[in-house]
Structure 1
Amino acid sequence: MQIITTTTALQELAARFAKYPYMTIDTEFLRESTFWPILCLVQVATDDESAIIDPMAEGIDLQPLFDLLQDENVLKVFHAGRQDLEIFHHLNGEVPKPIFDTQVAAMVCGFGESVGYDTLVAKITGKGIDKSSRFTDWSRRPLSERQLTYAEADVTHLRDVYKFLANKLKERGREEWVASEMEILRAPETYFIPPM
């Protein structure tokens, strides 16, 4: 398991990821007592590797990640990604592009509306996910091995889910259905919260 805590390591990771057609991505954050969520972890994976980026590591600059998230040649795959996208828009002023949301794709493929990640993983891969760390305090350091394993699983299983759903959409000729929904998620105004 790779834990990225320096800008140099992040630059190297981003350079490797930029060579792939897609990457899976998820975040862990705190939102209970803040208007804007506090980003605590970013998990990413390609077909060949996965990593956990620690945005709270002292001195780390997330710009290499932000640049990767704007790379048009790499599809960013999320599950129920609206909150993740909102965080990146807030931090960087840009919504990642291009994007694919497996929750939306699952609905189009007949898995039901707003299907949960663990349910989708179980139905598609037959694997169970340990969700005991779901409601943990992601801002506390050090993180336990169990927390890190949980976080990493959110992007490693997502690879299989994405490939399965992408194939189903292609078989059924429904790729455009998902693309139109992605336009809504890509629109910056989706994440504009007017001041009270």
Structure 2
Amino acid sequence: MRTLTTTEGLAEFCSEASQHDYVTVDTEFLRERTYYAKLCLIQLAMPGKDDDTAVLVDPLAEGLSLDPLYELFRDESVVKVFHAARQDLEIFFVDAGFIPAPLFDTQVAAMVCGYGEQVGYERLVRSIAKTGLDKSSRFTDWARRPLSDAQKRYALADVTHLRRIYENLAAELERSGRTHWVDEEMGVLTTPDTYVIEPQNAWLRVKTRTSSPKFLAIVRELAKFREAYAQDRDVPRNRVFKDEALVELASTKPRTPQELGRSRLLQREARKGAIADGILAAIEAGVNCPPEDMPKPDRTRDKLQVNPALADLLRVLLKAKTEQFGVASKLIAPASDLDSLAAGLRSVSALNGWRREVFGEDALRLCAGKIALTAKGERIEVIELEDAT
């Protein structure tokens, strides 16, 4: 089990990896006490059948630079293969300001190939690599050195088995003509906006039961302060104050330290110092927000006139398409898309790209009364109405 601790060693491996069609990648990190993930280990593997073509990279090693890895990540001739890549990509985007490309996410590919919703790596190892995983080191402290042999074996398994999984899924996508489906999905993962949280937009993540613009103005300012504070000090946003406390503060609107001290849900550390000052300033800004600058709640869905019978038919059609194509239903169309279609809206993801080929076209024809659905045994089939007389 090779562990690279020098820039020279990493550069040598990356140079060799650049001669291959793909490289598998995984990371181990900690995030419980920080806003940004702390990268503790990087696992890499080139094509091959043994562990000699796989390495561990120790980003905590003194003097090691990840520049050779980032050069490999920018090499368009080498596919970078991850499983459930989002958090890994966020780490590299925050550190280096770019996203590895071209990219292949085996979790997305597995959903396209009929393995179900959000399929886990362990299941793919069993199904495709025909072996099991030792998960005993899953929740260990990856920042502690030296790493144990058990930790190293666990970490390497996340990229060595990934080679066979990738090759199997890529071949299946090519055989079924669905490679471009996965390419479309990679577009979301490779968009920088996916990994950037602007403090002024942080309020959109807070769930509230009130849609009053005045109330939301205070929520916006409190969330903005919390996000900026957490980013500047690299602490989890919930360590500043939790969503429940934020909503309570927006409701009670304390204006003085004494009033703030009466909050039921605010942690004691947040009732004094910079956090308390920030909370009171945010509430003041929200209370005094001009009406024209207040958040405008999205009431589009509240006004939807959903045809419930049509929505039910669309769900039946989606189930039929899911079974026909062997693709996870949530990947094709979430429930919100079906309700939107049944209400006459057409700006939904189910009508774009490969989703339109699989489901969208027939969904539109169903809405227009051009097709009907019939049950034949356990199967649901589409019938052209012109031929159904």
- Normalising TM by the smaller chain, what interval? over 0.9
Aligned mates of 1:125, 1:92 — CA distance in 2 = 33
Show CA shifts across 1:36-74 (max 9, x none).
Answer: 000000000011300000000011011111111111010
> Higher RCO, 1 or 2 (CA under 8 Å, sep at least 6)?
1
Q: What is the CA-CA distance between 1:146 and the residue it aligns to?
A: 0.3
Quick one: which of 66, 88, 92 aligns to 1:88? 92
For the pair 1:33 / 2:37, whether they are aligned, the reply is no
User: Secondary structure at 1:34's aligned position in 2?
Assistant: coil
Question: What does residue range 11-160 of structure 1 map to in structure 2 within 5 Å?
Answer: 11-48=11-48, 49-160=53-164
User: Secondary structure at 1:87's aligned position in 2?
Assistant: helix
Quick one: which of 163, 167, 172 aligns to 1:163? 167
- Structure with bigger strand share is 1
Aligned mates of 1:99, 1:82 — CA distance in 2 = 11
Quick one: which of 171, 177, 193 aligns to 1:173? 177
Give every structure 1 segment of 4 or more consecutive aligned residues whose post-TM-superposition deviation is greater than 2 Å. none
RMSD across aligned positions (CA)? 0.7
What number of residue pairs does the alignment pair up?
196
Aligned mates of 2:179, 2:7 — CA distance in 1 = 36
User: Secondary structure at 1:14's aligned position in 2?
Assistant: helix
- Structure with bigger helix share is 2
Aligned mates of 1:164, 1:98 — CA distance in 2 = 18
Q: What is the CA-CA distance between 1:107 and the residue it aligns to?
A: 0.2
- Given residue 186 of structure 1, which amino acid in structure 2 is its aligned partner? T
- Given residue 39 of structure 2, which amino acid in structure 1 is its aligned partner? L
Q: Taking structure 2 as the reference length, what is the TM-score of the superposition? A: 0.50
Show CA shifts across 1:91-115 (max 9, x none).
Answer: 0000111100000000000000100
User: Secondary structure at 1:24's aligned position in 2?
Assistant: strand
Q: What stretches of structure 2 of length at least 5 have no aligned partner?
A: 200-226, 228-389
Q: What is the CA-CA distance between 1:126 and the residue it aligns to?
A: 1.4
Show CA shifts across 1:95-151 (max 9, x none).
Answer: 111100000000000000100000111011210000111111100000000000000
Show CA shifts across 1:145-182 (max 9, x none).
Answer: 00000000000000000011001111111111100000
Q: Taking structure 1 as the reference length, what is the TM-score of the superposition? A: 0.99
- Given residue 63 of structure 1, which amino acid in structure 2 is its aligned partner? D
Q: What is the CA-CA distance between 1:5 and the residue it aligns to?
A: 0.1
Aligned mates of 2:176, 2:147 — CA distance in 1 = 42
Q: What stretches of structure 1 of length at least 5 have no aligned partner?
A: none
User: Secondary structure at 1:58's aligned position in 2?
Assistant: coil
For the pair 1:190 / 2:194, whether they are aligned, the reply is yes
Aligned mates of 1:11, 1:176 — CA distance in 2 = 32
- Given residue 21 of structure 2, which amino acid in structure 1 is its aligned partner? P
Aligned mates of 2:146, 2:2 — CA distance in 1 = 15
For the pair 1:2 / 2:6, whether they are aligned, the reply is no
Identity %: 55
